[in-house]
A = this chain, B = another copy of it.
Amino acid sequence: MKLKKLKQVRVPGFLAGGVACGLKKKGVKDLALIVSEVPATAAGVFTLNQVVSPTVPISRKALQTSKTSRAIIVNSGNANAFTGEQGVKDCQAVVAATAKALGIPVKEVLTASTGVISVPLAVNKIEASIPRLVNQLSPKGWVQAAEGILTTDLVSKTCAVQYGDVVVGGIAKGSGMIQPNMATMLAFLASNIRIGKFALHKALKEAVDPTFNCITVDGETSTNDMVLLLANGTAGNSSIQAGSKAYRDFVTALTHVCKTLAFKVVEDGEGATKFVTFKVSGAKTKQQAERIGKRLANSLLVKTALFGEDPNWGRIIAAVGNAGVPIKPEKLEVVLNGTRLVKNGEHVKGVSASALRKKMKNKEIEIAVGLHLGKAQAETYTCDLSYDYVRINAEYTT
């Protein structure tokens, strides 16, 4: 199977668009819509935060009660989370207005929000803008949709690939409040493949697990995180069964799109200057490897050392020892961008400090930690912690 990367997102049978409706400052896009021209199967994964936006239960229920889905309406600038009964009504109103403007059933509309928490949604601004947004829909409109879902993001995040007649594309937003917990941030994916709902959900879980679920910017899990995927069958293939070769090909393409978008989220992490990969190997279980990876990726001392371009393996070791996973310090190994710093639990002598510091100037840093206790491994992706992270989150209510 050969995966062709597409320069722009355009998925056969899908239209998209984005407009400014006035939730964010004047003229900045804050409302996005993705529509399938024909009924599509759909799947979603959602945040595990116990405080959720009504967009989470409302989208989940729509997926459960309707065989097909047609549209995803998303606003940025306001998360509509922790907004009580009014928040639920507001979310229902947005869904209803979208269904009406598109002439489709309410239960075929999925919805998401992102932005400030616990502020009432100016639902009238959204309702007033939906007809304009629908008029503007086009096969090329993913660019505008990707802009419409941003918050503190500096860049839009899009990705699309093709193999044979099948196209998989998507958009994502996120640069803060990023630590996946089964699902994270917002990402909206579409494909023209024909696939049943069960297999589609399974494929989405398989693709999200090693991608979105392996990134963290700041250890925070949002109230609104979700990843939605629509598949409208216009590729004309015979419907795909889970486990088949065709299914695996689709998962490969979908994982590529998810990984590309997830990496773009990390690269655009609030204040980020580095893209950092932690490879933890030799663990007894995958869960333990992941736990150590997350502990490293969320350690303030490790993250600030990365920003300072300081090859501070002492902080790495201290964080590994604090992950709540049984380790044997005397077996530890640490390799930083290819240079072995720690072996058999001791610092390797003779490593050139200046060569090491030079390597820390790379934009991409890879830190491998070997536990030598088992065969399980995991990768975690993160960014450093800089002055700008503090500035972005201290100066503005986000």
Contacts and interface: CB of A to CB of B under 8 A. Distances in A.
A319 interface: yes
Contact of A50 (B81, B118, B327, B389): B327
A221 interface: yes
Interface residues on A, range: 35 or more
Interface stretch (A59-67, A195-203, A277-285, A310-318): A310-318
Copies in the complex: 2
A314 B82 contact: yes
Contact of A219 (B119, B300, B321): B300
A374 interface: no
A91 to B, nearest CB: 15
Contacts of A347: 82-84, 118
Interface of A is mostly: loop
A244 interface: no
Contacts of A304: 389-390, 393-394
A281 B158 CA distance: 44
A237 interface: no
Contacts of A98: none
A338 interface: no
A301 interface: yes
A322 interface: yes
B81 A118 contact: no
Given A49-B321, A118-B313, A300 B389 contact: yes
Interface string A296-309: 00111100110110
A218 B118 contact: no
A301 to B, nearest CB: 5
Contacts of A52: 321
A221 B322 contact: yes
A307 B394 CA distance: 6
A15 to B, nearest CB: 33
A165 interface: no
Interface string A216-258: 0011111100000000000000000000000000000000000
A229 B346 CA distance: 32
A128 interface: no
B116 A220 contact: no
Contact of A300 (B50, B51, B320, B393): B393
Nearest to A393: B304
Contacts of A51: 317-318, 320-321, 327, 329, 332
A346 B84 contact: yes
B300 A220 contact: yes
A132 to B, nearest CB: 29
Given A300-B389, A389-B300, A310 B118 contact: no
Contacts of A223: 317-318, 321
A385 B390 CA distance: 7
Contacts of A220: 299-301, 318-319, 322
A117 B176 CA distance: 30
13 contacts: A49-B321, A81-B314, A84-B347, A117-B314, A117-B318, A181-B322, A220-B322, A304-B393, A307-B390, A308-B394, A312-B397, A385-B390, A387-B387
Question: Which 6 residue pairs of A and B lie closest in terms of their CB atoms, listed nearest first?
Answer: A117-B314, A308-B394, A51-B321, A304-B393, A84-B346, A118-B314
